[in-house]
A and B are shown apart, each in its own frame.
Chain A
Amino acid sequence: SQQGEEDPQALSIQEGENATMNCSYKTSINNLQWYRQNSGRGLVHLILIRSNEREKHSGRLRVTLDTSKKSSSLLITASRAADTASYFCATDSSGSRLTFGEGTQLTVNP
């Protein structure tokens, strides 16, 4: 496995439901960041959680980090059709580069 693996690879839900995406990584990290990418577009920064934090909220987003399990989860509550996108976790281990996972393709059906 590689650093920053998300699961599931694809998730399809109905509008109003919650969406949970998970990310696992291999090495120790300084922080972990979640990004959204609409098809063929740029990466939009969603949230950063530092290695000494366990949970963070931003609007409808909730991120958790378990450094003992080397895993993180992104929860989107009350999803909307506009949340349809690919979601990536990216780990910052070396103080410079981000290492991205494969991403979860989220589809929110109206």
Chain B
Amino acid sequence: EPEVTQTPSHQVTQMGQEVILRCVPISNHLYFYWYRQILGQKVEFLVSFYNNEISEKSEIFDDQFSVERPDGSNFTLKIRSTKLEDSAMYFCASSDRRFPSYEQYFGPGTRLTVT
């Protein structure tokens, strides 16, 4: 069964460093998302992406964040200058969104630790 994959599974970085989190969405999906989950808290939406542009972003997704689909398969989240509070599990998701398939399928996550 097709699934969303994410790399790396765990990333440790120092405050102020740039990180790139990578995702390979399900191949025939058109909509891509990033969410994050701070330890012990609920999952929060960051951004959605469709047709090579951001379709919606949350207040968390400030100028330090960017997303890109550099080729036909990868979808990346970049954090330019990491802060301690960016430590979280980051989930990529993808969706078909053609009726009736509105399910969002999530990857296993990348645990980002900022020291």
Contact = CB atoms under 8 A, between A and B. Distances in A.
A31 B108 contact: no
Given A88-B42, A88-B43, A99-B45, A45 B108 contact: no
A48 B103 contact: yes
Given A43-B43, A100-B44, A35 B106 contact: yes
A42 B103 contact: no
B25 interface: no
B97 to A, nearest CB: 8
Contacts of B102: 30-31, 48, 50, 92
Nearest to B49: A96
A26 to B, nearest CB: 15
Contacts of A42: 91, 106-109
B55 interface: yes
A98 interface: yes
Contacts of A94: 56
Contacts of B107: 42
Contacts, number: 54
A45 to B, nearest CB: 5
B109 A97 contact: no
A97 B103 contact: no
A102 B48 contact: no
A42 B109 CA distance: 6
B61 to A, nearest CB: 11
A24 interface: no
B105 interface: yes
Interface of B: 31, 33, 35, 42-45, 48, 55-56, 58, 89, 91, 93, 100, 102-109
Interface of A: 30-31, 33, 35, 40-45, 48, 50, 88, 90, 92, 94, 96-103
